[in-house]
Amino acid sequence: MEFGLHLPNAGPFANGADIIRTAKTAEELGFHSVWLFDHLFTPTNLESKYPYTPDGSYPMLPEFAFYDPVSVMAALAGATERIKFGTRVLIAAYRHPVVLAKELATTDAIAGGRMILGVGAGWMSEEFDAVDVPMEQRFARLDEHVALMREAWQKGTVAHEGRFYSHCEAGFGPQPPQPGNTIPVIVGGHGDAALRRAARWGDGWAVSAAGDQLAADPEGAVRERMDTLARFCEEEGRSIDDLLLVGQAFLGASADSLRAQADLGIDVIDLMTFAPTDQVLDEATKFMNEVAPSLA
């Protein structure tokens, strides 16, 4: 199991300087990766229900900063040298895939091939309304969105004619320098539809379960979802072992709870906490010096 550290791109302590400082420190400490959330804004009157809390409440407030992960990853490409960075997860449909494919390939090329792209269908209707994308199309758009970006990355010169997006034959260089000239794509979401997408075309899954199930039995909820994903992979002629499974835990989680996630087959844990940056870095240092070695 590898360990990642979540960057402070959202919440009461989010600021640009500390995002970079945290990433650099994570690299120095030997973390595998750093991770980012994605939202465009926080409505002052949010009617959409957040799927990862039992009551649907959303922890972000309108006054909290929320730094754009696409822009932040570009900054990370120049500020770090070795550590991987990624999204868990980016709501792809908020951005046109032709533009996003170019932005991500450029960043990954500058970084030397260190990006992991987590994508999700989204849940906040207010954001879909703001970018004039019908929310009911979000699942179908996600399939085509990722397919278009992969074509652009892998083929270099390609045309696309689809249901939602199209472009003439064109060159898309630079191509991502990772194997196959692509960027690994992990699928977010906990429902059967998300798991089928992960099994069908994903390079991995951002491990999750419904908020009420996580509150009642977190390990059991994740195990059930992983069993379902394994079954879907078999139906697609794949193995769940071929997927990168990225879970999450609080930075202060016990070694036993992290070991339980490793026993489930989770490959990377995104460690999170909402605290002042100095406190986060102190906890991260203690984790890598005391907890991580016990899990090696």
pLDDT digits (tens, 9 = 90+) for 190-229: 999 999 999 999 999 999 988 777 777 888 889 999 999 9
Percent of the chain at pLDDT exceeding 90: 93
Range of the domain at 226: 2-295
Strands (E) located in the chain: 2-6, 10-11, 33-36, 65-66, 84-87, 90-91, 115-120, 157-161, 166-171, 185-187, 204-206, 244-250, 268-272
Establish whether the linkage from the previous residue to 268 is cis, with ω within 30° of 0: no
Dump pLDDT digits (tens) for 35-92. Answer: 999 999 999 999 999 999 989 999 999 999 999 999 999 999 999 999 999 999 999 9
- Are 270 and 252 in contact by the 8 Å Cβ rule? The answer is no
CA dist 51 and 163 (Å) reads: 28
Q: Is the pLDDT assigned to residue 99 strictly greater than 90?
A: yes
Euclidean distance between CA atoms 91 and 36, whole angstroms: 12
Residue 277 to residue 23: CA distance in whole angstroms: 11
- pTM comes to 0.95
Q: How many domains does the chain have?
A: 1
The residue to which tokens 């990006």 are assigned: 115
CB 171 within 8 A of CB 157: yes
What's the rounded mean pLDDT across residues 166-172?
98
CATH of the domain at 189: 3.20.20.30
The answer to whether 277 and 13 have CB atoms below 8 angstroms apart is: yes
Tokens linked to 146: 């990722």
Mean pLDDT of the residues in the chain = 96
CA distance 66 to 201: 29
pLDDT confidence of residue 213: 79
Each residue of 132-144: b (16+ CB within 10 Å) or e? ebebeebbebbbb
Are 22 and 95 in contact by the 8 Å Cβ rule? The answer is no
